[in-house]
Structure 1
Amino acid sequence: MKQIAFFIITLLFITCKEATTAQSPISNITASDIEVIMNFLASDALGGRDTGSEGLEKAAKFIEQEFKKSGIKPYFESYLNTFDAKGTETYNVVGYLKGTDLDLADQFVVIGAHFDHIGNGKDVNGDTIANGANDNAAGSTAVISLAKHFAEVKNNKRSVLFVLFGAEEKGLLGSDHLAKVLKEKNLDLYTMINFEMIGVPLNDKTYKAYITGYEISNMAEKINEYSGKELIGFLPKAKEFQLFRRSDNYPFYSAFNVPCQTVSTFDFTNYDYYHHVDDEVSEMNFEFMAELINDCAPVITRILNTPTKEIKLN
């Protein structure tokens, strides 16, 4: 009887351990973590991260270093995926985390955000640098932070590309280039989640963020199911202004015809500094950003580990 009891207890222990292992370790990205990344990407030293600028190059090197420290590998021969942006050579920064499952590792999820901005803006009290804190150092910070988290926990059955897009401000050129390159490689893309302008909370909403193209797929429904709360909602203004077509998710949707959508908290009422020199780090809410990114981590974990592709176009 003792041997039987011991066997049952051991079996229960193993089962519980496996169940726990399959769950997402809690993401503990802090506001101070966010602040460090934001302070660099949106600093005056980067001069507004315009395409082809020295400041954009500094940002790219910083992202490369963050990927290397975390154990995120380059997907191509280097982290830089170079392309021509209307006569100016620039690049996407592409990191790669291989899936842990022999079958699912051939399926990919892209987590992206653009890291370029417009360089200079209209002079305000002698300041002409458009730092682009909310647009889009905030989204870039989310991608870098999530890359660190998943590189540490290594619980992704599917493979992930963590991408910082260049030349978004020139017309989604970086995402368009990369989507075409990956399509030519016959990449099996499950879904793409893009982060854009997440630096401040929504005004008077029950949900924490919205996704563009809400009605195009069941992504919002699945995100809320995976998070266990109303994390994502529908913003009518996003549909009115066709934001689905105006961010780096769209070239991937066009190329692959799979759910590719953008997470944002810019609701046209909560931030006055779009493409403005006052889009500064001082205007950002680091506590909110950390909370949102931490909320997204277990959602992305589920996306990376479900046996079948549950997010589908409507």
Structure 2
Amino acid sequence: MLKSRLLVAVGVLLLAAGPVFAQDAAQTPAVDPVRVAAHEAFLAGPALRGRGSATPDEAVAAAYVAARFQEYGLTPAPGMDGYLQTAGVVQLPPSAPGRRPRFEVTDPDGATRITTNAIGWLQGSDPSAGVIMITAHLDHLGVQPDGTVMYGANDDASGTTAVLELARTLAAGEQPKRSILFVCYGSEELGLLGSEYFGAHSPVPLTDVIANLEIEMIGAQDPNMPAGVMMMTGFDRSNFGSALRERGALIAPDLYPEQHFFERSDNYQLALEGVVAHTISGWATIPTYHTAEDNLGNLDIPFMTRAIQSLVEPLRWLASSDFKPEWSEGGRPQRTPRQ
């Protein structure tokens, strides 16, 4: 126990010592397993009690992400005076007896519950070239009525960690042609509420967003996937995944299309708006999903590190090229009256 606490403490100290890791400007900074472990140790550690949706613990997680964005040299997104976007959360009656409560987002003024998105902006050299979004959700299930803490180390502290490391490595390189918007949403677990609010209050026009890569549960790998490879939901719906894979991203099609994971993560809110948006995951059907066993002890940090690293250069290419991902015929989801 003492050894593990010391490792966490050393990791947090190294994380805070950003200049120690400074590299030659011509080199691409590597994704750092110490930083990966340190981010996870805080986000999925006891202090944040599982980052329950629309709780003060979620707000602390968002503030942590915002502070790292600022540390890495990101700026507030256009029209924002900071790195945090807040929304109110309202509970609605169940749609039928015995059903779970429903929730919706509203403007934050006067709301009793607040959810928070953390947003950082990397300015591109060509304002007309479009915007790339790299996203995850930072909330989880928090403290249960019986006192059990659902830490959510994989779901989705792992995705939040990936966004942070991608922000650090991409910001440390040459200025990209396209701007990159990094977003960690709140209240995904209440029904994709943070991304819904973002979609309606985006700091940049969604028509400027050429692609969105959502990162969800990359803390371990599905044994049915090729070694080291993540799955992308809705892979065949567009040419986005194949373009990234051709340039080294360790991704492949989703093995479980019948589970409709494409529609069950934050990418879907933007996909409904026409943005080519997909989610990548290490193991979407992991046995620890929404259990107390989704904790730091069940993370595969080496897998996470390699997976994140494989995304750096493909995303750097996308941010500096003229390639624009497009939907395949019939691939774009259509909004229904209920959506």
Which range, TM-score by smaller chain? 0.7 to 0.9
| Residues 237-290 of structure 1: per-residue CA shift (max 9 Å, x gap) | 1x11111110000000111x131000101142xx32111112111110111111
Structure 2 vs 1, CA of residues 187 and 200 (structure 1 numbering), >3 Å: closer, same or farther?
same
Q: 2:271 aligns with which of 237, 244, 253?
A: 253
Write the letter of the residue equivalent to 1:85: V
Structure 2 vs 1, CA of residues 100 and 234 (structure 1 numbering), >3 Å: closer, same or farther?
same
Instruction: Give the superposition deviation at 1:183.
Output: 8.6
Q: Residue in 1 aligned with 2:299?
A: 284
Instruction: Find the aligned partners of 1:71 and 1:147 in 2 and give their Cα distance.
Output: 9
Instruction: Find the aligned partners of 1:165 and 1:25 in 2 and give their Cα distance.
Output: 31
Within 5 A, what are the aligned runs for 1:253-272?
253-255=271-273, 257-268=274-285, 271-272=286-287
Q: Residue in 2 aligned with 1:313?
A: 327
Q: Residue in 2 aligned with 1:233?
A: 252
| Residues 53-87 of structure 1: per-residue CA shift (max 9 Å, x gap) | 22112212211211111111111221111112225
Q: Is the 8 A contact 2:28 2:172 kept in 1?
A: no
Structure 2 vs 1, CA of residues 183 and 55 (structure 1 numbering), >3 Å: closer, same or farther?
closer
Q: 1:198 aligns with which of 193, 218, 236?
A: 218
Q: Classify the secondary structure of the residue corresponding to 2:148.
A: strand
Q: Residue in 1 aligned with 2:89?
A: 85
Write the letter of the residue equivalent to 1:118: L
Write the letter of the residue equivalent to 1:313: W
Instruction: Find the aligned partners of 2:234 and 2:203 in 1 and give their Cα distance.
Output: 22
Write the letter of the residue equivalent to 1:294: Q
Greater gyration radius: 1
Q: Which has the higher helix share?
A: 1
Q: Does 1:181 align with 2:201?
A: yes
| Residues 135-179 of structure 1: per-residue CA shift (max 9 Å, x gap) | 000000000111111111133110011000001001001111111
Instruction: Give the superposition deviation at 1:205.
Output: 2.3
Q: Classify the secondary structure of the residue corresponding to 1:275.
A: coil
Instruction: Give the superposition deviation at 1:211.
Output: 0.6
Q: Is the 8 A contact 2:31 2:309 kept in 1?
A: yes
Q: Does 1:97 align with 2:122?
A: yes
Within 5 A, what are the aligned runs for 1:1-314?
25-75=27-77, 76-86=80-90, 88-101=113-126, 103-104=128-129, 107-121=130-144, 128-182=148-202, 185=205, 187-206=207-226, 208-227=229-248, 231-237=250-256, 239-255=257-273, 257-268=274-285, 271-309=286-324, 311-314=325-328
Write the letter of the residue equivalent to 1:234: P
How many residues are matched? 279
Instruction: Find the aligned partners of 1:96 and 1:183 in 2 and give their Cα distance.
Output: 10
Most deviating of 50-59 and 159-168: 50-59
Structure 2 vs 1, CA of residues 121 and 272 (structure 1 numbering), >3 Å: closer, same or farther?
farther
Instruction: Find the aligned partners of 1:182 and 1:84 in 2 and give their Cα distance.
Output: 16
Instruction: Find the aligned partners of 2:241 and 2:208 in 1 and give their Cα distance.
Output: 22
Higher relative contact order (CA 8 A, sep 6+): 1
Instruction: Find the aligned partners of 2:207 and 2:143 in 1 and give their Cα distance.
Output: 37
Q: Classify the secondary structure of the residue corresponding to 2:190.
A: coil
Q: Classify the secondary structure of the residue corresponding to 1:77.
A: coil
Q: Residue in 1 aligned with 2:103?
A: none
Instruction: Give the superposition deviation at 1:27.
Output: 4.2
Instruction: Give the superposition deviation at 1:101.
Output: 2.9
Write the letter of the residue equivalent to 2:252: G
Q: Classify the secondary structure of the residue corresponding to 1:111.
A: strand
Q: Is the 8 A contact 1:133 1:281 kept in 2?
A: yes
Q: Residue in 2 aligned with 1:17?
A: none
Instruction: Find the aligned partners of 1:52 and 1:66 in 2 and give their Cα distance.
Output: 21
Instruction: Find the aligned partners of 1:298 and 1:186 in 2 and give their Cα distance.
Output: 24
Flag structure 1 segments of 5+ consecutive residues without an equivalent. 1-23
Structure 2 vs 1, CA of residues 25 and 252 (structure 1 numbering), >3 Å: closer, same or farther?
farther
User: RMSD between aligned alpha carbons?
Assistant: 1.9
Identity of aligned residues (%): 30
Instruction: Find the aligned partners of 2:49 and 2:255 in 1 and give their Cα distance.
Output: 34
> What's the TM-score once normalised by structure 2's chain length?
0.78
Structure 2 vs 1, CA of residues 250 and 25 (structure 1 numbering), >3 Å: closer, same or farther?
farther
Flag structure 2 segments of 5+ consecutive residues without an equivalent. 1-25, 91-110, 329-339
| Residues 286-314 of structure 1: per-residue CA shift (max 9 Å, x gap) | 111111101000111111111241x2100
Structure 2 vs 1, CA of residues 162 and 186 (structure 1 numbering), >3 Å: closer, same or farther?
closer
Q: Is the 8 A contact 1:217 1:313 kept in 2?
A: yes
Q: Is the 8 A contact 1:27 1:294 kept in 2?
A: no
